[in-house]
Amino acid sequence: MKLRLPSELPLPVWPALGMAALSGFLYFLAFAGMDIWPLAFVAFVPLWIAIRGQRPRLALWLGLVTGATMNVFGFYWLLTMLKTFSGFPTVLCALFVLIICTYQGGRLGLMGWLYARASIRGWPAALVFVAAFVASELVFPLLFPWYYAATVHGQPALTQVADLGGPILIGVVLLLANLAIAEPILSRIEKRPLDRRLVQIGAGALAATLLYGYVRIRMVDAQAAASEAFNVGLVQGNMGLMQKRTDPAEGLRRHQKLTRELKERGTDLVVWSESSVTFAVPEAKADRFMFNNVSSQLGMPAIFGAVLFRVDADRERWFNTALSTDTQGKITARYDKEFLLAFGEYLPFGDTFPILYHWSPNSGKFSPGDKLDPLRIRTASGEHKVTTLICYEDILPSFTNKAVNHADPELLVNITNDAWFGDTSEPWEHLGLAQFRAIEHHRYLVRSTNSGVSAVIDPVGRVIAHTGTFRVEALQASVRWMRGKTAYEVIGDIPWYLLTLAVAYAAFRKRNLQPTT
């Protein structure tokens, strides 16, 4: 049966909404965790067809449907987290998940709205579609960050441009490829000549990205080979969420036992996971407690997570902390997590409405840190600075960029506890999103997580070693101390902010087309 295409655009409301939902589902299938990455080149095609010629209000809804569909499927593990921490009934948790996913989908709703407003004012449709995509990825506030680049996290040749423009630049290249693939379909629907320039731009951007990736990988590999090597060990204690709190001694025993095994294998630095030392320790006594009970027995430099607190005049303040120690076990530096995880470490509006903590007794009540100082590791070759990111700080490009610029580290470390989300796709999504930090800064990224996935990522984003999930495990890998500057470190997201301002201008300013004579 011959496919019959509509004779003109825009599409009617219901077919357009169906196409938008299809885009969201394809996005989910391509995303980290599912990893059907070739779909990244076509996931936006249905939305692009559906949104053409639509009024701003409907375009907003089309983008929202795409984003919400992607989130409902891709972030299904939020239900497990909310049930664990809130104590609410399953039905109420499911409602909260739907609300959160719909809100997160608003990122693409913003994209659709900006696109429609700018395009009906005479600005080039493909250009404002890309600019609206950039704006949505840059400025829309998210509870659980995600970006389109994660669809190709396992394809190093496609991801090296992150050292120029972060994950947004990768997303732009993928979006241009989507537009190029959609153009023959649209030219037939709209009964017009093929826009060869759009096809050429999409194909050219993809080819340039692949060429850059090939060259950059060879350059960075050569730089790594010339850098000082050392053996890092990761300990994955796999302590249950409540077990970490009720039996912290067992967690410490597991970590120390596996660390002794790593030392026998020639490990030079050991990294434990977030809050691996779960004892609640007053910060004034932290040095003595950690030396006596934790680090003096390790016999090597270490980085580990701890829970510290102090009593201020107004209230107790708790900190999700990373500590570094030297070979003798003395603390050399401290970092307190700045970006706290909603529901797990704090409740949104909980300080304003304290009753929320009464309703959700399992939620944490931590305070954020306020310094980006590195941890410090002392070896035979000297002292090395390490930027440590706790939990989902490693999926925040601008935050990591700020931390790296502040510290100029030789290594990136992430300590995480993803057990909150159960044995789902979330740990793999987290890993996929984190890989870009290694590429953006051309440093090794070492991730130690409580329940997996613990991994070592090289400076071009390849996962060179990793554990499984939800098992006690130790991992050792050879890494390098590396320093240097990338374009993204220097300019950050400035070009994307400028493009965001441009599309915002276009959304409210009619294009002045001078008649030809």
| DSSP collapsed to 3 states, 274-295 | CCCEEEEEEHHHHHHHHHHHCH
- Point out which residues pair with 277 in neighbouring strands: 306
- Point out which residues pair with 324 in neighbouring strands: 303, 333
Q: pLDDT tens across 219-238, in order?
A: 999 999 999 999 999 999 99
* Of 413, 458, 422, 482, residue with least CA distance to 234: 413
* pLDDT score at 1: 34
In the numeric block, which tokens belong to residue 1? 């049966």
In the numeric block, which tokens belong to residue 103? 């809100």
Which regions of 427-497 does DSSP assign to beta strands (E)?
445-449, 455-457, 463-466, 473-480
CB burial readout 303-315, b (16+ within 10 A) else e: bbbbbbbeeeeee
* pLDDT score at 185: 94
CB burial readout 87-123, b (16+ within 10 A) else e: eeeeeebeebbeebbbbbbbbbbbbbbbbbbbbbeeb
* pLDDT score at 5: 41
* pLDDT score at 340: 85
* pLDDT score at 502: 98
Strands 229-236 and 473-480: antiparallel
What distance, in Å, lies between the first and last C-alpha atoms of the chain? 49
Task: Give yes or no for a contact between 33 and 425, defined as CB atoms under 8 angstroms apart.
Answer: yes
Residue 37 is given by DSSP the state G
Amino acid at 245: R
* pLDDT score at 136: 98
The CA distance from 27 to 148, in Å, is: 8
* pLDDT score at 454: 98
* Of 147, 236, 41, residue with least CA distance to 433: 147
Cα 85 → chain centroid: 22
Residue ranges of domains in the chain, CATH in brackets? 13-222+493-508 (no CATH), 228-481 (3.60.110.10)
10-residue mean pLDDT series, the chain (517 residues): 49 96 98 97 98 97 98 93 78 93 97 97 97 98 94 98 98 98 94 96 98 98 98 97 90 97 97 96 96 96 96 86 97 94 68 59 76 95 96 96 97 94 93 98 98 97 97 97 96 98 96 64
Q: Is the peptide bond before 97 cis (omega within 30 degrees of 0)?
A: no
* pLDDT score at 312: 87
Name the one residue in this structure whose structure tokens are 């997570």: 305
Q: How distant, in Å, are the alpha carbons of 108, 350, 503 from that of 424?
A: 25, 28, 38
